[in-house]
């Protein structure tokens, strides 16, 4: 299937029962390549869509003989992927083996030199991506979202025209995998392709179209909106406990004061008004929130 790709398997650590967690790295070399791309999915174990996307795109790389070198890691976090409770993916944080702080798997670029499980794992990924010029880290978000992408404000040219409607520009890097790579001088983008925890064919296909546009296999398109992450991305917290029924969808435009959801609890029913004017970016996977639990994120005008 992938004759021009070579595969290397890297061991991470073994469990109490002696099972070994491993990462497969697929490398592709093109004789005319001037850039190396690191394409990765699955850092967060609840975020599944990117994994089939990388597998499918590897086939296209080979069929199209794309003139780049590629380092592909379709499943970058086997510990995260194998974290589930009663069939529900839970591997957003390391809640299995870190007894103190449940690290968010995508906020530990600073642990690279620590001889811990997390430190060894993130060092492995940072070492693998070190030769690359371009880092594409595939994520998903929320229980329902509209595709978006995080990028440093200097890298707008790379995220425009992909057909991703909402472009979230940041100035201040976090310890995420992409931001850590940006600070190493690379083009480093965090794609949020679809909702988390489930996979649908259409989401995989749409995500492949974004990658085809990125690599020039399809023409660029117009129509994205740019938002400043630090000032225009806002969280929304539940004013009370109860059962939440949304009346709008992720991606919908909202006006402050619109009734966008209803909360049912012991006091009866409470209409919830939009706290902002802008766009509902994503809904959290919370259907029975406690008071002050985060419900959603908005892009605010």
Rule CB under 5 A: say whether 139 interacts with Zn ion.
yes
Q: Residue 178 Cβ, how far from Zn ion at the closest point, in Å? A: 10
Among 40, 44, 152, 289, the residue binding Zn ion under the rule CB under 5 A is 44
Q: Residue 42 Cβ, how far from Zn ion at the closest point, in Å? A: 9
Rule CB under 5 A: say whether 197 interacts with Zn ion.
no
Which residue's CB is nearer to Zn ion, number 80 or number 242?
A: 80
Distance CA 297, CA 300 (A): 9
By CB under 5 A, the count of residues binding Zn ion is 3
Which residue's CB is nearer to Zn ion, number 47 or number 112?
A: 47
Rule CB under 5 A: say whether 297 interacts with Zn ion.
no
What is the number of the residue whose Cβ is closest to Zn ion? 139
Structure tokens at 178: 């992409």
Q: Residue 139 Cβ, how far from Zn ion at the closest point, in Å? A: 3
Window of 136-144, 157-165, 172-180, 281-289 that interacts with Zn ion by CB under 5 A: 136-144
Binding residues for Zn ion, rule: CB under 5 A, are 44, 47, 139
């Amino acid at each position: 299937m992938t004759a021009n790709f070579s595969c290397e398997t890297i061991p991470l650590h073994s469990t109490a029962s002696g099972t070994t967690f491993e990462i497969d790295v697929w490398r592709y070399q093109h004789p005319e390549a001037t850039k190396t791309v690191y394409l990765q999915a699955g850092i967060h174990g609840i975020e599944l869509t990117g994994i089939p996307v990388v597998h499918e795109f590897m086939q296209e790389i080979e069929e199209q003989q794309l003139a780049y070198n590629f380092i592909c890691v379709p499943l970058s976090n086997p510990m995260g992927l194998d974290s589930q409770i009663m069939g529900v993916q839970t591997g957003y944080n390391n809640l299995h083996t870190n007894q103190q702080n449940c690290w968010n798997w995508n906020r530990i670029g600073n642990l690279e030199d620590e001889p811990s499980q997390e430190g060894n794992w993130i060092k492995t990924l940072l070492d693998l991506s070190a030769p690359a010029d371009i880092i594409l880290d595939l994520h998903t978000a929320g229980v329902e979202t509209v595709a978006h992408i995080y990028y440093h404000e200097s890298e707008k040219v790379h995220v425009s025209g992909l057909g991703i409607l909402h472009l979230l520009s940041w100035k201040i890097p976090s310890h995420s995998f992409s931001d850590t790579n940006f600070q190493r001088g690379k083009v480093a983008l965090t794609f949020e392709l679809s909702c988390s925890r489930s996979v649908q064919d259409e989401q995989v296909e749409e995500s492949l179209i974004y990658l085809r546009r990125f690599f020039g296999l399809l023409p660029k398109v117009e129509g994205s909106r740019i938002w400043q992450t630090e000032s225009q991305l806002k969280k929304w917290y539940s004013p009370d406990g109860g059962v939440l029924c949304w009346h709008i969808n992720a991606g919908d435009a909202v006006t402050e004061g619109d009734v966008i959801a209803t909360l049912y609890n012991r006091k009866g029913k409470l209409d919830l008004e939009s706290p902002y004017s802008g766009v509902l970016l994503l809904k959290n996977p919370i259907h029975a929130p406690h008071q002050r639990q985060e419900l959603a994120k908005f892009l605010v005008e």
